[in-house]
Amino acid sequence: MAIRSPTIGVIGLGHWFERLSEGLSDSTIVISKAMGRKSFEERMGQLTALGVSRENYYIGSADGVIPEEFFEGLDAIYVSSPNSLHCRQTMQILERGRYAVVEKTLATNEPDFNEIMRFLEKDSYEPRTYLHVHYIHKQLTMNMGGILGDLIKDYGKVKGVSATFLESYCEADVHRQWIFSKSEGGVFMDWIHPYEILFNGARVKSSKLLDARFYIMNDGYCKDNPSGVEALSVVNGEFFEENARATIRVGKGSTEDVKRVRFYFDDDVFAEFNFLSSEKEFVSDRRGSWKLIRKRRDDYEVLKYVEPSGPNPSQIFASDIIKLCNGQNVGLTIAEIKRLYAPQWEFQRYMCEKTPIVDREQIKAFIVNGSLNEVDGYTA
């Protein structure tokens, strides 16, 4: 059967759509409609490049309701609006018989998440819903299970994990302070990245939070809401010792970019996976790297170094949209989405009564421990 090229509409033309539009434009996907908060004139260059005419551009409302005429002629709708609107818009899209492709999260809090899970299950919408998370389709993540499966044969099971995802100060984020608000999920929405890698790459089956804290890492972003989070958990899975420790750090406004996961074995050996930003992957053939390292008394010995190759995540994402609209089962199942987001809600419950740390020495230690990928590197 011939594969049909889908026609899609886009809700939200900001940060993430800009980063992903390259993959969409290189595919056979037709973008015919768009909805955003700015005027057509302000977005004219971008909209013209996409092939969206003035009459097919809609100004979004604050409540996120999608105009009925927006659905006409579309196979799917890609949602990259503010996170707080995703739950309502996803339901509306599915009720109108379209495929819903949703950026990063279906909800920003546990009650809304549970509501949309019930909605998807009740009306069997799972095959028509695609949650787009950013690290599952990175080559390092897709290859990770095979790599760890080979390594444990020589070095035993993983004893500990350290995952650090720190982003350096970005002027664009200063003008996007809404992303740090609790209603939008805050910096906790970046909390999902290491768990995408652990659950889908390293085949972690369960995670339990032991301790956590959060930081006003950079008050140039926001003085009231945290821009850094840190947690100590235990994880279990086929490649891990029972109740292996996992230390996870996520933050925006750091002094450097660090996107790294380390898996620690016996004999001072660890596997280090270094991820690239999406922007760097879009403009190069680089897909990050992984190293097997042995810690010596005074230095480190690199036992193995590999740079994977293959399509970038945006290209895989575009391919998945085409498959989705042709009735193929792609993306995460409801069960996988629930498992992926369970640590998010566990963390939010734990932190709801706690006060963000503002002490500069503690913030500095958080960044340094993250840069060094220390396991259990702070005093609980």
Residues 363 and 230 occupy one common structural domain: yes
1-25 mean pLDDT: 81
Do residues 19 and 107 both lie within one domain? Answer: yes
Does residue 40 lie within any of the structural domains? yes
DSSP letters of 263-300? EE-STTEEEEEEPPPHHHHHTSS---EEEEEEE-SSSE
For residue 112, name the pLDDT band (cuts at 50, 70, 90).
Answer: very high
279 within domain boundaries: yes
Asked which of 104, 132, 160 is the last residue of a domain, the reply is 132
Alpha-carbon distance of 190 to 178, in angstroms, equals 14
- Band the pLDDT of 276: cuts 50, 70, 90: very high
DSSP output for 196-255: HHHHHTS-EEEEEEEEEEEE---TTT-SSS-SEEEEEEEEEETTEEEEEEEEEEEEEEES
Identify whether residues 127 and 219 lie together within a single domain. Answer: no
> Hey, what amino acid is at 179?
I
Q: Supply the CATH number for residue 91's domain.
A: 3.40.50.720
CA dihedral angle for residue 328, residue 83, residue 355, residue 231, rounded to 10 degrees: 20
Residues 125 and 147 reside in one and the same domain? no
Residue 64 lies in a domain: yes
pLDDT, tens digit, for every residue of 184-206? Answer: 877 777 878 999 999 999 999 99
Do residue 150 and residue 51 come from a single domain? Answer: no
Tell me: do 280 and 354 sit in the same domain.
yes
- Secondary structure (DSSP) of 128-194: GEEEE-SSTTSHHHHHHHHHHHHHHHHH-SEEEEEEEEEEE--HHHHTTGGGGSGGGTGGGGGGHHH
pLDDT at residue number 378? 43
Q: What is the pTM of this model?
A: 0.93
Least confident window among 62-66, 333-337, 367-371:
367-371
Given 66, 98, 132, the domain boundary residue is 132
Residue-wise pLDDT tens digits, 61-87? 889 999 999 999 999 999 999 999 999
Same domain for 276 and 364: yes
Per residue in 210-225, pLDDT tens? 999 989 887 777 788 8
CA dihedral defined by 344, 349, 354, 356, rounded to 10 degrees? 20
The number of distinct structural domains making up the chain is: 2
Q: Cα–Cα distance between 77 and 70 in angstroms, integer?
A: 10
pLDDT band at 379 (very low <50, low <70, confident <90, very high): very low
Cross-sheet strand order for the sheet of 57-59: 57-59, 30-36, 7-11, 76-79, 99-103, 129-132
The whole domain housing 300 covers 139-311+341-372
Residues 100, 199, single domain; the answer is no
Q: What is the mean pLDDT of residues 338-347?
A: 92
CA 98, CA 252: separation in Å to the nearest integer?
35
Angle between helices 15-25 and 313-325 (to 10 degrees): 70
- Residue 67 is predicted with a pLDDT of 96
Query: Do 169 and 58 have their domain in common?
Result: no
Asked which of 112, 132, 152 is the last residue of a domain, the reply is 132
**Is residue 325 one of the residues assigned to a domain?**
no
**More confident call, 15 vs 138:** 138
321 assigned to some structural domain: no
Q: For residues 43 and 148, state if they share a domain.
A: no
Regarding whether 236 and 207 lie in a shared domain, the answer is yes
* Residues 264 and 160 grouped into a single domain: yes
Q: What distance in Å separates the CA atoms of residue 59 and residue 308, rounded to the nearest whole number?
A: 42
Query: Does residue 331 form part of some domain?
Result: no
| Whether pLDDT at 310 is above 50 | yes
- Find the mean pLDDT for residues 162-186: 79
Q: Is residue 354 situated within a structural domain? A: yes
The enclosing domain of 224 has a CATH number of 3.30.360.10
Does residue 102 fall inside a structural domain? yes
CB atoms within 10 A of CB 196: 18
